[in-house]
Structure 1
Amino acid sequence: MASRTFAAFHREEDGAALIEAALILPVLLMIVFGLADLSLYFWQRGLATKAVDLGVRAAIVSDAVAQGPGLTPSESASYWFGMPPGARCFPGGGSAAEPSGAGGCPSFSVTCDLARGCDCPGVSCGFGFSQANLAPILDAMRAVLPRLEPANLRITYSTNGLGYVGRPPPVPVDVTVQIVDLAFDPIFAGLLFAGSLPLGASATLPSEDLVTRR
């Protein structure tokens, strides 16, 4: 009798589904919430990409964040080193400190952000930083990414060898707008795993007039 009762108990499957569900459900929820976080992250990445597109379009028609000869017309009267108006620019020019060689237009690259001001890699940098000129660029980007702060922007102006002497702005440049030090904090996965995912984006366009229309 006891042996038959044990055999019946051994074959009994009531409650098995509940145990299986208890084992599988946490894993299933982690997958679902993880996919939700991943979708939110890529959505934020898309917004960051759109923001830099809008930012660089604003930057090429706004007063330069970097203030100095070559970018600020009022400080650039002697920047062309006596080259005749209308002379063609091309790569391989000189710098603000040294006259351009073989007729090339002056060249420079300056990167500006809130943390370090303006920096010219490898050389002394005579450019000042204007946070006021950063405002219209930031406003354009906040249209799609409202949580963006001034500290999250980095803007680079680099001569591109295009254009002509006297074309405003004084030196044709490529303008690059970058989003830096911005992160996405997972909503669901963050409860299980510490850390965040970086949100970075960059866009470059040749300058237009670099003058804010007020």
Structure 2
Amino acid sequence: MRQPNDFRKDEGGAAMVEMTIALTLLLTLTLGFVDFGYAFYQWNAANKAVQVGARTAAVSSPVSTSLASAANTADSALAGTAMGSGSFPTYSCTGAGGCARFSQANFDTIYNRMVPFFPRLQPANVRITYTATGLGYWGRPGGPVPTVTVSLEGLTFQFFFLSGLLGLNNITMPSMLSTVTGEDLKSTWP
């Protein structure tokens, strides 16, 4: 039988304990790089979705059908003169509506162009805003020329490994937006 002093001097399992500690730290670090790389991918995909949404909104029919009549005027002296900044109210719509005379079909046209770039996107995350910035003229047949802003709100980064290891579940993605000057606001997209 071995003496108790012999156990204190024995280093037979030290390498395995050191390897376990080092491997745990190395594995956590590696999985962290993978997760944050994926978060960066999500950020870029959401930004691209916003850019595509803004471009689509600039050339398609407005989500708020009230915008088409915003340049109408009963004052014949005003007809043909430039519209000033703030000459019509700002129309801000989400997938749930929230704006005057909301057109779900027009919203879906924009939303469906965005989803292939960021599949986790939900209609409630998308906000489309039309603002008067002094373009167009009173009495313009197609309505005013708005500045269109598409933004994403209420999204979170999705983590696979670190959510279980370190509890990184709900890190909110910063709100992102893209602004484009409206064009003819055609009724169909090619």
1:146-165 alignment to 2 at 5 Å?
146-165=119-138
Partner of 1:112, secondary structure, is strand
Asked if 1:189 corresponds to 2:167, the answer is no
Asked if 1:201 corresponds to 2:167, the answer is no
The equivalent of 2:152 in structure 1 is: 179
The equivalent of 2:42 in structure 1 is: 44
More divergent stretch after superposition (165-174 vs 196-205):
165-174
Q: Residues 198, 212 of structure 1: CA spacing in aligned structure 2 closer, same or farther, 3 A cutoff?
A: farther
Q: Residues 116, 8 of structure 1: CA spacing in aligned structure 2 closer, same or farther, 3 A cutoff?
A: closer
Q: Which runs of 5+ in 2 are unaligned?
A: none
Number of corresponding residues: 186
The equivalent of 1:133 in structure 2 is: 106
Cα offset, 1:207, TM superposition = 0.6
Determine the C-alpha separation between the residues in 2 that align with 1:44 and 1:194.
Answer: 15
Mapped contact 2:96–2:123 kept (Cα < 8 A): no
Q: Residues 117, 23 of structure 1: CA spacing in aligned structure 2 closer, same or farther, 3 A cutoff?
A: same
Task: Percent identity, please.
Answer: 35
TM-score by structure 1 length?
0.75
TM-score by structure 2 length?
0.84
1:60-71 alignment to 2 at 5 Å?
60-68=58-66, 71=67
Superposed CA RMSD: 2.6
Larger % of strand: which?
A: 1
Larger % of helix: which?
A: 2
Partner of 2:180, secondary structure, is strand
The runs of at least 4 aligned residues of structure 1 exceeding 4 Å deviation read 5-9
The equivalent of 1:97 in structure 2 is: none
More divergent stretch after superposition (192-201 vs 136-145):
192-201
